[in-house]
Amino acid sequence: MASMLVDTNVLIRYFRGDEPFAELIETSESVVVHPVVYAEYMNGLDEGRKSGKLLRRRLEEFLDAPPVVLANVSTTTSLYYSKIYKALKDAGRMIPQNDIWIAASAIEKGYVLATHDEHFSQIPMLRLAE
């Protein structure tokens, strides 16, 4: 499979050991983690607990292992964001702003997006993993 950007919900399921998500990630040419996804994942951790510390360490190990990369957000990403935002607003179909950033990066770089959020299907030109 081509380079794939993973949404937070897919990353969580991967770390839970859900087989379809492990296969999806492990068969990708490269796996891209967006800074927003990283932040959302980190926000969900209770680092005061042992499980939170373990999950943080697993994420850091995951990010250090090829073919995983952390996405860069550029001014071009911002232009894609504004186009997506305007199109969704004009259509009266807004989605969470963090998800617009994720979609903008995926479209800009030609990544396939792995997610379970149905609202991403409202964004033209966004390729979704099946």
Phi-psi region of 90 (alpha: psi -120 to 50; beta: other; left: phi over 0): alpha
pLDDT at position 1 is 62
Which residues form the domain of 54?
A: 4-128
DSSP code for 47 = T
pTM for this model (two decimals): 0.92
Sheet holding 68-70, edge to edge: 68-70, 31-33, 4-6, 112-114, 127-128
Instruction: Please report which helix (H) or strand (E) contains residue 15, including its range.
Output: helix 8-16
Which CATH number covers residue 13? Answer: 3.40.50.1010
Max intra-chain CA distance, the chain: 46
Task: Render each residue's pLDDT in the chain as its tens digit; 130 residues.
Answer: 679 999 999 999 999 889 888 888 888 889 999 999 999 999 988 767 888 888 889 999 999 998 999 999 999 999 999 999 999 999 999 999 999 999 999 999 999 999 999 999 999 899 999 8
| Number of domains composing the chain | 1
